[in-house]
Amino acid sequence: MDILLADDHELVRKGIRFLLEAEPDFRVAAEAASGSETFRLAQEVKPDVVVLDLNMPDIGGLDLITRLKTEMSVTKIVVLSMYSNEVYVTEALRCGAEGYVLKEAAPAELITAIREIAAGRRFLCSALAQRAFRAYSNGTKTVDEMEDPFKRLTARELQILQLIVEKNLTNAEIGEQLFISRRTVEIHRANMMKKLSFKSYSDLVHLAVMRGLLPAEKEEKQSKE
């Protein structure tokens, strides 16, 4: 089984490669450190499975999943991410990923995930599966959950939010990274702010911390900039 590893941290890639190649039927066919490199290598190598981090330079993980599934629908994708937030998990699966594993999960879960999605099934690591089971067991969502405006953000708006709060990019820089115009970014950003009823950048940063999208220590740093 040919696998493409996509993570912008070389040390992480090497560790995952060592883990996967210990399996007799796994072969890491290529490694990528950016979104554009992942897309190019996926077209060249045509891997059976892509192990993808969501936080990738130049093309965000959610956008990359959409592009890969559009161009290479046969290739399976398992997200390996530090993001456990429900919105990221939901959007990744909605964009086409077949599996989602947290980086804090046991190594065996990634191996199981690859085997499961290669066999045509979906996979969530145990921590996420338990959370999904609890939500299902609780039945219908509460009024507060159903009216949560954050859950009305589109995948593109979520990408832009991530680039704003994590990398502090300007509208022009976001446009370059997502291959869209600055005006389009401005429209998405305005729609996002309207949905969230926010007025300022600091509101976005605070939301990111509260939702687990940004470490708390970065809130103080970015608020001072």
Placement of tokens 């470490």 in the chain: 215
Same domain, 132 and 156: no
Residues 121-167 have pLDDT tens digits of 999 999 888 877 776 566 544 434 444 566 677 878 888 887 887 77
- 35 or 137, which is more confident: 35
- Burial class of 184 by CB neighbour count within 10 A (0 to 12, 13 to 18, 19+): middle
Same domain, 8 and 106: yes
Domain, as residue range, for 98 = 2-136
Residues 170-200 have pLDDT tens digits of 899 999 888 899 999 999 988 888 887 776 7
Among residues 104, 136, 168, which one ends one of the domains? 136
The model's pTM: 0.68
What H or E segment, with its residue span, contains residue 135?
helix 126-137
Contacts of 73 (CB under 8 A, 6+ apart): none
Contacts of 186 (CB under 8 A, 6+ apart): 171
Same domain, 20 and 115: yes
